[in-house]
Amino acid sequence: MEPSAAWKHGQGNASLRKLLVRLLVFAVIAAAVRFAFLVTLAGESCSLGTFCFFSAPGEKNGDIVKAIPVTTANWAVGMGGAGSGDPLSKDSVDSVRFYASVFRGFIDEGMLLPSSRALCIGTNGGSDVLALKEAGVADSVGIAKKAVKPLVIAGMPHRVPFEDSWFDFVFVGGGEFDKVLQPADVAAEITRMLKPEGIAVFHVRANDTYSFHSFVDLFNSCDVVRTREVDGVVIGLPKIREIIMKKGKGFSILERSGPKGDSLNGKCLLREHKLQLVLEAEQLIEEEPLKPWITLKRNLNSIKYLPSIVDISFRNRYVYVDIGARSYGSSIGSWFRKRYPKQNRTFDVYAIEADKAFHDEYAGKKGVTLLPYAAWIRNDTLSFEVNHDPGKKPGEQKGRGMGRIHSGGSSGDVSRVPGFDLAEWLKSTVTENDFVVMKMDVEGTEFNLIPRLFETGAICLIDELFLECHYNRWQRCCPGERSSKYDKTYGQCFDLFKSLRDSGVLVHQWW
C-alpha cells in the first residue's frame, strides 16, 4: 500500500472513532438528563415500570392504554418537542408535579385507588394523565381535541367513547370546564361514565356563589363532597376552585335535568345566594315620580345588571326574550345588543310582537326569532288595538302608536291577532340550565301575565327581568292630567315589583 493511501485509511478510521465517541457521549448525556427528570418528578429513582427504560418484571400497563409504555420520551414526541409544551420545560415539570401532589392527596383520602380507572377531560398535553400514572394509577387516559399518544386520545367532551359506569375517577383541570360550549351535555356525559359512588374533580373559576351553584346544578345526580380554593398552575388562572363531587348510587342514565319551573305557594324555590342578589340590586323607586318620563329613564343608569356582578358561566344556553319588542331598534338593537353585558356569550333572541307593522324588518335579522303573536295567559284569538298619543289627532302622530290587547273602550285601530300562553311556551323553550333575560313591555297586560308565570312556576326560569309597569301616570302633554289608558295606580305597580323581589325574582323598573 502506498504511503498516501495508508495515511488516508488511517484518517478515515480516526473520523469514524470520533463519530462513535460523540454518539456514545450524547447517549450518556441523554440518559443522565432523563434520569434527572424522573428523579425531579417522582422524588425517587426509576421505580415505575412504565416510566423506565426497561419495564419491571411482571409490570402491567393499564386496561385503557396498553400498547405503548408511557415514557418521557414518547410524551415529548406527542407534545411536539421543544417549546411552551416541552415536557422538559419548567412549566411542564411544575404542571406534572402539581397534579401528582393533588392525586396523591386523593389517594391518601381513599377517593382514588391505584386500581381505579381514571379519565382526564380536556387535558393539556397529558400532564395530568402523566401525573396520575406517576401517582400509581396506571389505568389512566385523557381525552382532548388533539391526541397525544399514548396518553391522550382524540375526542369531544360531550361525546366520550366509553361505556356507561366505566370510570371510578374523572378529572377536569386547568379551567377547561369553563371553556366548554355545552356544559350541561358535558356534565351529563361525565355522570354517565362515572360508576355509582365514583368521584369527579373539577378545577374551575367559579369565583362567586352564583357561578358555583350554576355549576353544581349541572350535576343533578351528584353530591358535593368538598370545595376549596387552591393555587393554580395554569397561566392566567392563579387561583382556582376545586370542586369534588360524588355520584349517587341509584342514578339512571335516563335521568336528566328538566325545566326548572318549580314553585311553592307562588314563590320560587331559590336558595340563599339568589335571594342575596335581589337584596344587592338597586333600590325600587317607592314614591311616584311627578315626571316619570325623566325619573324612570334616569333610573336605567343605576341598574345593576346581573352579569356585571356575577360570573354567568356554566349555563347551557343564553336567551333573551323581548315581549312587546316593537321594531328591532326599539330595544333589541339599541339596548340589549349594545349595552347589556354578555360576558362574550352569544344569546338566542326571541322577539314577541303582535303588531304586523313591525314584522317585516325582522326577516333579515340574524340570531333573532320573531314570534308574531300576543303574549297572553292562554292560546286564544285576541282583539289588538294600536293607541294614539293623548292630546294628538291621528294625523299628528309621530311614528307608530303603542299596541296592546283590547279590553273595551277603544280609542285606536283594532284588529284580531293570535295570542299564546307565554308561561307554557317559556317552560317548553328553556330549562333550568339556561340563562334567561326577559324584557316585558305589554301596555298593562303585565298584571295578567305575571300572576300566570307564578301560577305555572315559569317565573323561576327567568334570571333577570326588566319590567315596564303601566299605570295612570301624569301626562307629559297635559300638565295636571293623568293617562286614561290604564286603570292601575303607581302604588299597584310598586307592589307588583316588590312582590317579585320578595319571591326571589331579580326585577328592574324599566322605562
Grid cell digits, residue 124: 393539556
Identify the helix (H) or strand (E) that includes residue 309: none
Compute the mean pLDDT over every residue in the chain, rounded to the nearest whole number: 80
pLDDT at 273: 75
Q: Helix or strand or coil: residue 77? A: helix
pLDDT at 234: 67
Examine the pLDDT at 400 and tell me if it is beyond 70: no
pLDDT at 14: 65
pLDDT at 124: 77
Q: Show the domains of the chain with their CATH numbers.
A: 41-247 (3.40.50.150), 263-509 (no CATH)
* Mean pLDDT to the nearest integer, 482-495: 87
Q: For residue range 314-352, list pLDDT tens digits in order.
A: 999 999 999 999 999 999 999 999 999 999 999 999 999
Examine the pLDDT at 87 and tell me if it is beyond 50: no
**Nearest-10 crossing angle of helices 490-502, 446-456:** 20
Q: For residue range 176-185, list pLDDT tens digits in order.
A: 999 888 899 9
Q: For residue range 408-430, list pLDDT tens digits in order.
A: 444 557 889 999 999 999 999 99
Q: How far apart are CA 66 and CA 153, in angstroms?
A: 13
Decide: residue 11, CB within 10 A, 0-12 exposed, 13-18 middle, 19+ buried: exposed
In this prediction, residue 30 has a pLDDT band, given cuts at 50, 70 and 90, of low
Identify the helix (H) or strand (E) that includes residue 437: strand 435-440
Closest CA to 131 of 122, 118, 144: 118
Exposure string of 180-215, with b = 16+ CB inside 10 Å and e = fewer, is beebbbbbbbbbbbbbeebbbbbbbbbeeebbbbbb
Decide: residue 474, CB within 10 A, 0-12 exposed, 13-18 middle, 19+ buried: middle
In this prediction, residue 77 has a pLDDT band, given cuts at 50, 70 and 90, of very low
pLDDT at 298: 79
In this prediction, residue 58 has a pLDDT band, given cuts at 50, 70 and 90, of very low
pLDDT at 445: 93
Between 91 and 311, residue with greater pLDDT:
311
How far apart, in Å, are the Cα atoms of 335 and each of 238, 341, 436, 446?
Answer: 35, 10, 16, 21
Closest CA to 292 of 430, 468, 52: 468
Q: For residue range 441-455, list pLDDT tens digits in order.
A: 998 999 999 999 999
65: phi then psi, degrees, rounded to nearest 5:
-115, 105
What percentage of residues in the chain have a pLDDT greater than 90? 51
Q: For residue range 193-231, list pLDDT tens digits in order.
A: 999 999 999 999 887 889 999 999 999 899 999 999 887
Q: Cα 29 to chain center, whole Å?
A: 48
SS3 percent helix, strand, coil of the chain, rounded to 5, is 35, 20, 45
Q: Could you tell me the pTM of the whole model?
A: 0.75
Q: For residue range 275-295, list pLDDT tens digits in order.
A: 888 988 999 999 988 877 787
Q: For residue range 158-175, list pLDDT tens digits in order.
A: 889 999 999 999 999 988
Between 60 and 499, residue with greater pLDDT:
499
Examine the pLDDT at 246 and tell me if it is beyond 60: yes
Examine the pLDDT at 268 and tell me if it is beyond 90: no
